[in-house]
Amino acid sequence: MTRPSAPLLEAHHVGRRFGDRTALEAVDVSLGSGDSVALVGSNGAGKSTLLAVLAGALAPTSGRIVHAAPDRQIGWVPQRPALYSRLTALENLEHFGRLERVRKPAARARELLDAVEIASDPVPAGVLSGGNQQRLNLAIAMLVDPDILLLDEPTSSLDPRQRRRFWQIAEVLPQRGGALAFATQHLSEVDAHASHVVLLEAGRRVFAGTLAAWNASSALESLA
């Protein structure tokens, strides 16, 4: 994708193998200021792997990840909740806040708990509903006030009201000059929340362009 301004995060010919299986093959992706990039494709296309590599949770087997600045903060919401099941929602946020050296972690934790509309009940996070765990995951990702937010099918377990609130929080980043990338199986979310689209098939990038170009292309037919 061509950008008028310098990107915040780039993947250059990134590949990732798991033993004999190729999950990504020479994929290029660029996240620029104000971008909201939808990653689409069938199950097993490589979307989750690409997001994990961009987040730094997986090292690429080939290619490289380039950051615009070393102090850029990245928030990552994986597909499966990444939290401590025996801690409460508030305790999770306070714990991760301390790990990330957030200023005033207790105050930040309460602020984010209110933002994602989760009650500070003294119950373990492991007994929360799937939707509440996913919203807690978003709050954890937002602790560092990220410049880049990476979301892996983040709304799959949310009801319609929760989904609307989730996107209200996530879309603040591109609006203030950051970048957002999200994997989704819902084309309605692409139309509503993406500025650009990347289509992956069998670990390869087969389309990358603006939302308008995506809607005008034949690539959309591959998901029908």
pLDDT digits (tens, 9 = 90+) for 184-217: 988 899 999 999 999 999 999 999 999 999 998 8
Retrieve residue 61's tokens.
Answer: 């087997």
- The dihedral through the CA atoms of 24, 150, 160, 177 has a sign that is negative
Confidence of residue 147 (pLDDT cuts 50, 70, 90): very high
User: CA–CA separation, 18 vs 142, rounded Å?
Assistant: 30
- Residue 164, CA atoms < 13 Å, CB-side half-sphere: 2
Average pLDDT of the residues of the chain: 90
Sorting pLDDT into bands at 50, 70 and 90, what band is 221?
low
Is the confidence at residue 105, as pLDDT, over 80? yes
DSSP string, 141-177: HHTT--SEEEEESTTTT--HHHHHHHHHHHTHHHHTT
pLDDT band at 3 (very low <50, low <70, confident <90, very high): very low
Could you report the per-residue pLDDT of 54-83, keeping only the tens digit for each? Answer: 999 999 999 999 988 777 889 999 988 788
Per the CB < 8 A criterion, the answer to whether 85 and 132 are in contact is no
Q: Is 93 exposed, middle or buried (0-12, 13-18, 19+ CB in 10 A)?
A: buried
Q: Say whether pTM exceeds 0.85.
A: yes
